[in-house]
Amino acid sequence: GENVEQHPSTLSVQEGDSAVIKCTYSDSASNYFPWYKQELGKRPQLIIDIRSNVGEKKDQRIAVTLNKTAKHFSLHITETQPEDSAVYFCAASRGGGNQFYFGTGTSLTVIP
């Protein structure tokens, strides 16, 4: 089955700096890669996703890049703000009703 690895497990940045979280996957058939944000005590929520036919996607301060050859994808958050503090999970799926495989999460702390 698929194996998704996520690094780092914890990340602290100063407010205004950028944060990068990286994930690797093993199944070359995976074609959908979402990122979820889970604030303390709340449910995970989708913040951005990318499909295998796209190399990069951006939404305001958040961007995701995908390298299919190397089987890795990354989340980039620019101009970080305290409200970006949360746990971020990457995931991979083959789509079409197949299950999602999640990384172990990155706890991001933005220091004011």
Site residues for another protein per CB under 8 A: 6, 9, 32, 34, 36, 42-46, 49, 89, 91, 93, 95-105
Please compute, for residue 111, the number of CA atoms within 13 A of its CA located in the half-sphere on the CB side: 4
CA distance 48 to 45: 9
Is residue 79 within 8 A of residue 88, CB to CB? The reply is: no
Residues 6+ apart with CB under 8 A from 30: 2, 52, 92, 93, 94, 101
Q: How far is the CB of 104 from another protein (least distance, A)?
A: 4
Name which of 10 and 81 has its Cβ closer to another protein: 10
Name which of 18 and 104 has its Cβ closer to another protein: 104
Q: How far is the CB of 11 from another protein (least distance, A)?
A: 15
Name which of 26 and 104 has its Cβ closer to another protein: 104
Name which of 7 and 18 has its Cβ closer to another protein: 7
For the residues of 29-49, what is the DSSP string, one character each? T--EEEEEEE-TTS--EEEEE
